[in-house]
Structure 1
Amino acid sequence: MNDQAVLIAGGGPVGILLALSLAQRNIPVRLFEAAEAVNDAPRASTLHPATLEMIGALGLLDDVIAQGLIAPTFQFWDRPTRRIVAEFDHAILADDTKMPFVVQCEQHKIARLGLERLKAFPHASVTFGSPVEGFADCGDHVEITVQIGSGKEIISGSYLVGADGGRSTVRKALDIDFEGYTFPERFLVLTTPFDFAAEHGVAFRAYFSDPDEWANLFKVAGDDGKGRWRAVFPALPGQTDDEVLDEAANEARLQKFFPKAGRYEIFHRNIYRVHQRVAASFRRGRVFLAGDSAHVNNPIGGLGLNCGVHDAMQLAEQLAAALCSQRPESDLARYDAVRRPMNIEYVQQQTIANKKRLEEKDPAAREANFDHLRRTAADPVAHRAFLMRTSLLESVRKNADFDARNLSD
């Protein structure tokens, strides 16, 4: 592989789908991942219609649907009364997209599907257990230092993309600020096979407002296809990991949520810190940031992974156009000019608002929120507009309009 290859640090779904999109455009690509294998810990799983369009363009849609669950609706609940406040149905977007639904497909499955497709391209390589430890922007190419086995190698390429997560080595080496904040409370995720849909009418995606303890519920297929429900709760600030993950405490949380006879079976417990941060720039010279290395957010609304995939698809298109001399290299400035504002407007603002809506303590404000949701769901025009935004279709269409104006100049 020659030194025109695009180099990618990070083998999560964003890095892998970026590599696949470049390979399909006949661009040489080399990806390096620090871990020994794809991380299969419970993480993001929601794929919105706008992202499904992109997954379809990569030829992965049927496989993603087969390994996931279709979720056409989602709900907002008042947790103290266990009543549905409003339900939204993506079917109203049938005239806007060929995929008027959400697919719940765990991100490690998406990564593995992409890896399998990459095997068909001789000009693409993926190396696990090989962290990118440093790099140099040499003006007309980049050079990265990679730990491979017991030694280090210097590898040349045309560009470098840091898709290496929230603690990104690439972003830190560029000395780009990660602007924003970390929430004082951590999030607890409990995975159980209990069927909340059959027993309580909960949609595969559901958000529960509660002034004392908000919660989320969403269903994934699981690796065995039998179905798993993930319940998300805020942990109290100051609690130790042992206190948050305590078996009796977890059982009490779930029984308070939806009481049932007998104990809940819990397959997996996880606790993690949650951030709202955006890199001050998504590009410096021949080095780019994508996915969590460029932006992180709370998971309420399932937008982070989607925005990362959108980063990857736009960046693949622009890099390919520059490398094939279809567009001037200066056109690459559009990546930061578009993706950073899009993340702030459509991901940061929405996820912050989603969390505030669920944790609202003022009774009057809670009722006002509920009334707004009910009116929105009941009005077809408002219903569609709400879903156009939450599904990220609005952001993609806005991006396309920006590109059309820019490319006609």
Structure 2
Amino acid sequence: MTAKMNQDMDVTVVGAGPVGLVLAAELALSGARVQILERLAEPSEAMKAGAINVPTAEALDRRGLLPAAEQVQREMLERVGSFSRTADDQPPGGGRRAPGSRFTGHFAGMILDADLVDWSDPDLAAHTAVDGGRLVPQRELEELLAEHVARLGIPVCRGVEVTALDDTGDGVLVGTTAGPVRTGWLVGCDGGRSAVRRLAGIDFPGTDPELTGHLAVADIADPSVLADGWVWSTRGAYRYGPQPGRVVTVEFDGPPADRSAPVTLEEVQTSLRRVSGTDVTLTALRGAATRWTDNARQAATYAAGRVLLAGDAAHVHSPFGGQGLNLGVGDAMNLGWKLGAVVAGWAPEGLLATYDAERRPLGAWVLDWTRAQIGVMRGDATSAALREVVADLLSTREGTTYAVKKISGVTQRIDLPGDHPLIGRYVPDLRLRDGSRLADHGHGGGFLLLDRSPDGTFARLAAAWAGRVCSVADGHATPTGVLVRPDGVVAWASDTTDLAAVTGLEAALHRWTGAPTSSPEHEPVEPVGPVEPVG
């Protein structure tokens, strides 16, 4: 049942996909009054992303949603396990693996062999706590996020389309098919053809599409005529599996004539027959099939006055490598606490401007990462030769490990002040002496400060920011201190407790959490967990 639209809100989010749901939840945790407007009357049944990367899974973990994601993965593996072909059955170097192999992903359809990955690589080894909750398709992700949003009391107003907007400087007047809305801020999470972006007059430069792709799950009368895994030809490429009936086709004959038209059984069958060179017969579509292109564009700005963009509204590209959903969730996590701080009135000067500055470079990288995959997937001789070279590189331990690290997101880094190697990276798995993990203390949002100083030096300093920073004590070890932003990015870290470390922490607190709320002398911090030195 759709909620009643509110006429006056701190923030209105347009779009109830994963990005809009995550953003709204983060804003609510920051204390903002937020609502979601969604054009569709019901959640989309279309097939989209099939898994999430490490930063996305860790975002769920920090909000207490990892158990739900792990349950989804168990169910997915049961379904995949009943199918004779698996997602990892055709690595570049050949061979097969049993269902349930460690999730790696693919580059341009070339499955990355989990047996070749150096799982002891420090970047990979530091992020394993969420391994059981990454095989989460977008539809299931939306369901668990919708439940999260409902628990937070956020209204989701469906069947409401944005038709106009006017940024008045102190807010935004939004015209909708359900009447006008007055909101302090408007955030477009409404997809690649974003109405918010168009109405705000934000340019969307990039490269035009050259292919049409289809994704569907179908009943197939004669599946034995289809080959395992990805298959290339001069006509295009296709993929069968890993779930029963799942097919993907790619044809380099330009974009579709009408992207908004429903995808029919005949359209998918015709495409599959062309690229496979078979007379395969599809008897029914299970759920809504999707049509996509390699249109690659990035908004000229992610913020124009009081109108902001996140997810596909800010950037679009082909789905190869599974980066789009994850890139959008990263946008939402980055923007949510910053905009929430602005609404709450404690944001330090320039905080909101860091949203575009931090997320734009990663968005540009993703566009190029997907473009590179298109470059080796075409049916011409040049692309075929390049594909052989890339496949050879991906058959090596170093090449596969490099690609898995990139796809998984564990190497993502923001350029922040400080020399410690953790600064700017997503916080690694930090297990505490009381049996918990640092992520377990972040379910309510806010900053986390891990204090491993012998005398609680860092926690006493952070007490001046009570209500914004949660300090967690954990016995003496290294790193001795870590300050984690609400989006999981390490803002400060130290292996010492000297004056330079204390000064660095104080600077980071001022930079990211604004002016102190009180004097630390009057708000002692109670240690969380044992504080005796690690033996």
In the alignment, what sits opposite 1:135?
A: 165
The aligned counterpart of 1:214 is 237
**Structure 1 residue 34, shift from structure 2 partner:** 1.3
CA contact (8 A) 1:297 1:304 kept: yes
Aligned residues of 1:46 and 1:102 also touching (Cα < 8 A)? no
- Distance in 1 between the 2:264 and 2:345 partners? 57
| Equivalent residues of 2:210, 2:254 under 8 A apart | yes
Inter-partner Cα distance in structure 2 for 1:266 and 1:103 = 29
**Whole-angstrom distance in 2 between the partners of 1:142 and 1:39:** 28
> Residues 189-338 of structure 1 correspond to what in structure 2 (within 5 A)?
189-192=215-218, 207-208=230-231, 210=233, 212-217=235-240, 219=242, 229-234=246-251, 236-237=253-254, 245-246=266-267, 249-250=270-271, 252-253=273-274, 256=277, 263=281, 266-268=284-286, 269-328=289-348, 330-338=350-358
Deviations 1:5-60 (A, max 9, x none): 21111111211121122223332111111111111111223211221111222333
Match of 1:159 in 2: 185
What's the counterpart of residue 371 of structure 1?
392
Which residue is 1:350 aligned to?
369
Mean Cα deviation higher: 234-243 or 313-322: 234-243
Return the match for 1:168 from 178, 194, 200: 194
Q: Which has the larger radius of gyration?
A: 2
Task: Quote the residue 1:401 is aligned against.
Answer: 424
Question: Which of 16, 30, 33 is the equivalent residue of 1:11?
Answer: 16
- Identical aligned residues as a percent: 26
Which residue identity is paired with 1:46?
A
Between the aligned partners of 1:343 and 1:207, the Cα distance in structure 2 is 27
SS in 2 for 1:352: helix
1:116 aligned partner: 147
Deviations 1:227-278 (A, max 9, x none): 5523232263488789994576356358648x9xx85655255433441011
8 A Cα contact 1:322 1:329, kept in partner: no
Give the equivalent residue in structure 1 for 2:125.
94
User: Residue 64 and residue 267 in structure 1: after superposition, are their counterparts in 2 closer, same or farther (change >3 A)?
Assistant: farther
| Aligned position for 1:67 | 72
How far apart, in 2, do the equivalents of 1:105 and 1:284 lie? 33
Which range moves more in the overlay, 391-400 or 105-114? 391-400
Q: By how many angstroms is 1:160 displaced?
A: 1.0
What's the RMSD between the two structures over aligned residues? Answer: 3.8
| Aligned residue pair count | 384
Partner SS, residue 46 of structure 1:
coil
Q: Does 1:54 align with 2:74?
A: no
Counterpart secondary structure, 1:301 = coil
2:408 is the alignment partner of 1:391: yes
Quote how far apart the aligned CAs of 1:302 are.
0.8
Q: CA deviation at 1:187?
A: 1.0
- For residues 78-134 of structure 1, the C-alpha deviation after alignment (integer angstroms, 9 at most, x for no partner) is 99xxx9885146782233342247734332332232222222234x21100111222
Q: 1:352 to 1:250 in 2, by over 3 A?
A: closer
- In structure 1, C-alpha distance between the alignment counterparts of 2:339 and 2:269, rounded to whole Å: 52
Query: Which residue type is aligned with residue 339 of structure 2?
Result: L
Tell me: higher relative CO, structure 1 or 2? Use CA pairs within 8 A at least 6 residues apart: 1
Of residues 15, 23, 46 in structure 2, which corresponds to 1:41? Answer: 46
Structure 1 residue matching 2:156: 3-state secondary structure: strand
Q: Distance in 2 between matches of 1:88 and 1:308?
A: 26
What is the CA-CA distance between 1:324 and the residue it aligns to? 2.6
Moved more, 165-174 or 383-392: 383-392
Q: Counterpart of 1:134 in structure 2: which amino acid?
A: A
Structure 2 unaligned runs (5+)? Answer: 1-5, 81-85, 95-108, 417-422, 426-488, 493-506, 512-535
In the TM superposition, what is the alpha-carbon distance from 1:142 to its structure 2 partner? 2.3
Q: Is the 8 A contact 1:91 1:100 kept in 2?
A: no
Is the Cα–Cα contact under 8 Å of residues 21 and 146 in structure 2 kept in the other structure?
A: yes
From the two aligned structures, give the one with the greater strand fraction: 1
Rounded to whole Å, the distance in 1 between the matches of 2:267 and 2:339 is 48
Aligned letter for 2:141?
Answer: I
Matching residue within 136, 145, 167 for 1:105: 136
The corresponding residue for 2:530 is none
SS at match of 1:37: coil
In 2, Cα distance between equivalents of 1:21 and 1:311: 11
Length-normalised TM-score, structure 1: 0.80
Show the counterpart of 1:224.
Answer: none
Runs of 5+ unmatched residues, structure 1: 221-226
Distance in 1, Cα, partners of 2:310 & 2:372 = 23
Specify the code of the residue in structure 1 equivalent to 2:409: L
Q: Kindly tell me: are residues 282 and 21 of structure 1, through their superposed partners in 2, closer, same or farther at Cα, counting changes over 3 Å?
A: same
SS for the counterpart of 1:331 is coil
Q: Between 61-70 and 48-57, report the one with greater CA deviation.
A: 61-70
Report the 3-state secondary structure (helix = DSSP H, G, I; strand = E; otherwise coil) of the residue aligned with 2:151: coil
* TM-superposed deviation, 1:401: 1.2
In 2, Cα distance between equivalents of 1:193 and 1:49: 33
Higher helix residue share: 1
> Using the alignment, how far apart are the partners of 1:100 and 1:174 within structure 2?
40
Query: CA distance change for structure 1 residues 299 and 157 in 2, over 3 Å: closer, same or farther?
Result: same
| 1:60–1:209 CA distance, 2 compared to 1 (3 A) | farther
Normalising by structure 2, we get a TM-score of: 0.62
